Chain A
Amino acid sequence: MREIQVDEITKTVKDLFIDANYKLGQDVVDAFDRRIQSDESPVAREVIKELKQNVAIASQGEYPICQDTGLAVVFVDMGQEVHVIGGNLRDAVNEGVRQGYKEGYLRKSACNPFTRKNTGDNTPAIIHYDIVPGDKIRIMAVPKGGGAENMSRVHMLAPSAGAEGIKDFIVNRMKESGSNPCPPTIVGVGIGGTFERTAILAKKALLRKVGQRNPDPDIAKMEREVLERINKLGIGPMGYGGNTTALDVFFEVEPCHIASLPLAVNVQCHANRHKEATI
């Protein structure tokens, strides 16, 4: 067994959340550049330029990309040869979130669902664990904002709905979401599994980089088709009108029950923040 101190996990989580909230991936910035060239709407081009400028200011480390610095979603891929010492893993992750949101001047958005009282330190983190081969821990930090998350849905389709039913549901979801999720969006789609599994697949889909297609060519084709249909809606950046309503659509697919066709659409704004580290 390889031993890993909880302090190391805490520090890693802290650094990842600060980094994710100040430095947006180059894949999104490159997508902005392409859209500044190609969108037909002058207002749309201006909005995307503002978003690009925003990312540049944030990268200097004084202002996070967005004031909604998210709930702290964490994916932990735990090598089965690892022994965590000096404390417990969950506390270590939460402590990392606590320190990161304080030291990074990030907004604390976690609250009691009924009283709406803020927990004060952005914990508890939403942690998804997986046990994997090996002696390392891979940690992915995903600050998830509320505006786009609110536009997300899980829907249990009848199997007869098929691929067309799936595509129609996603496009319609983005049409109904309109300007609310801060378009241009990135759309994570989970297909298959069960009710809860499909939602996690949709969230995991958001960890991909813009332009990275599903390795299955038939699914990749569907991703491209849905992206094209969303961008024909005309909603545009911020909903002001234009051809850039989404930057990409990612499908993650797993087998499901013979009676079911679970589908989840996890909507993400252009600030698709995610950073990872392996220790």
Chain B
Amino acid sequence: MANEIRLKTPLTEEDVDRLKIGDKVLISGVIYTGRDAAHKRMIDLLNQGKELPVDIRGQVIYYVGPAPARPGKPIGSAGPTTSYRMDAYAPRLMEIGMRGMIGKGNRAPEVIQAMKKNRAVYFGATGGAGAVLAKSIKKAQVVAYEDLGPEAIHRLEVEDFPVVVINDTKGNDLYVEGAKKYRKD
């Protein structure tokens, strides 16, 4: 990994502008969860000119549907879900100030373009490392769409949550550059 950077949310334009693909970042502070169903509802609200249930300016959305918490634990396993399913919604949220997304897997070109335009980044968390990642989550609270169960929007308090920069604000893509480096034709 090129660098190890600690960041605290909410993120500023300067925070994200200095990140480069491949950087390892440890995020602390509040992040919000959201998957397909919650995204759809948020975009529907925006289309109706209404307020979102959470203020996402400067915030990071983590694409995760956690496993249920055992008694005494804030959350169950909580690794990333595949991000392309949120591609249809992400540019709109970046337009209104979302600064970061955490997930796994490739993003559409228009999402990468929106990151460049709106100064936002896409972080990857290790897919299938849900038990390790849950240990960085200190508190979890449902703040919207409780009826969606694991897909509800949760407010998470995280400490040194480990991610890697996949797409930076310059339009670079770790998935392209990483594979190029190790491909053997």
Interface residues in chain A, defined as those with a beta carbon under 8 Å from any beta carbon in chain B: 40-44, 46-47, 50-51, 53-54, 57-58, 62-69, 105-109, 116, 118, 120, 146-147, 150, 178-180, 182, 232-236, 238-243, 269-271
- Asked whether A54 and B130 contact (CB < 8 A) given A105-B69, A238-B124, the answer is yes
Q: How far is the CA of A252 from the CA of B175 in the complex (A)?
A: 31
Q: Is there contact, CB below 8 Å, between B104 and A182? A: yes
| A57 contacts across to B, CB distance below 8 A | 131-132, 135
Residues B22 and A43 in contact, CB atoms below 8 Å apart: yes
Determine whether the beta carbon of A63 is less than 8 Å from that of B124: no
Within 8 A of A (CB), among B108-152: 124, 126-132, 134-135, 148-150
Contact B180 A106 (CB under 8 A): no
Given A108-B150, A178-B105, residue A240 in contact with residue B178 (CB < 8 A): yes
- Inter-subunit contact A62/B70 (CB<8 Å): yes
Q: Provided the pairs A51-B129, A118-B149, A240-B174 are in contact, do residues A233 and B82 lie with their beta carbons within 8 angstroms? A: no
Name 9 interchain pairs, CB-CB below 8 A, sorted by A: A65-B130, A67-B77, A179-B105, A180-B82, A180-B106, A235-B179, A239-B105, A239-B179, A242-B178
Contact of B129 among A40, A42, A54, A180 (CB under 8 A): A54
**B77: A residues at CB distance < 8 A:** 58, 63-67, 69, 107
Inter-subunit contact A178/B175 (CB<8 Å) = yes
| Distance in angstroms between the alpha carbons of A202 and B104 in the assembled complex | 25
B58 touches A (CB below 8 Å):
no
Partner of A108, one of B64, B149, B185: B149
CB of A64 within 8 A of CB of B131, answer yes
B6 at the interface (CB under 8 A from A): no
Q: Once bound together, how far apart are the Cα atoms of A42 and B2, in whole Å?
A: 11
Known A-B contacts: A50-B126, A64-B67. Give 8 more (CB < 8 A).
Answer: A50-B132, A67-B77, A68-B130, A108-B149, A178-B105, A238-B104, A238-B127, A240-B178
Does residue B18 face the partner (Cβ distance < 8 Å to A)? no
Tell me the bound Cα distance from A218 to B183 in angstroms: 27
- Interchain CB contact under 8 A, A234 and B104: no
- Which chain B positions have C-beta within 8 A of A235? 175, 178-179
Instruction: Determine how close the nearest CB of chain A comes to the CB of B102; give it in whole angstroms.
Output: 13
Q: How far is the CA of A31 from the CA of B68 in the complex (A)?
A: 29
Contact partners of B181 in chain A: CB under 8 A: 41, 234, 241
**What is the bound-complex CA distance between A65 and B170, given in angstroms?**
35
CA of A105 to CA of B128 in the docked complex: distance in angstroms? 17
A66, A235, A271: which has the most chain B beta carbons within 10 Å?
A: A66
* Contact residues in A for B135 (Cβ distance below 8 Å): 57
Q: Which of A67, A108, A235, A269 has the most CB of B within 10 A?
A: A67
- Closest partner residue, chain B, to A150 (CB atom): B82
Contacts of A43 in B (CB 8 A): 1, 22, 164, 178
**What 1/0 flags go to B14-40 for Cβ under 8 Å of A?**
000000001000000000000011000
A240 touches B76 (CB 8 A): no
Distance, CA A43 to CA B162, complexed state (A): 13
- Cα A81 to Cα B179 in complex, Å, equals 54
A144 to B22, CA, bound (A): 30
Q: Are A234 and B65 closer than 8 Å at their CB atoms?
A: no
Residue picked from B66, B70, B129, most chain A C-beta under 10 Å: B129
Q: Are B131 and A242 in contact (CB under 8 A)?
A: no
Closest to B125 in A: A238
CB atoms of B37 and A116 under 8 A apart = yes
A180 to B127 CA separation, bound complex (whole angstroms): 9
Closest beta carbon of chain B to A120's beta carbon, Å: 8
Closest to B2 in A: A43
3 closest residue pairs by CB, A with B: A241-B178, A234-B183, A182-B127
CA distance in complex: A57, B185 (Å) = 38
Chain A residues contacting B50 (CB-CB under 8 Å) are none
CA distance A50 to B133 in the complex (A): 10
| Contact with B179, one of A40, A47, A236 (Cβ below 8 angstroms) | A236
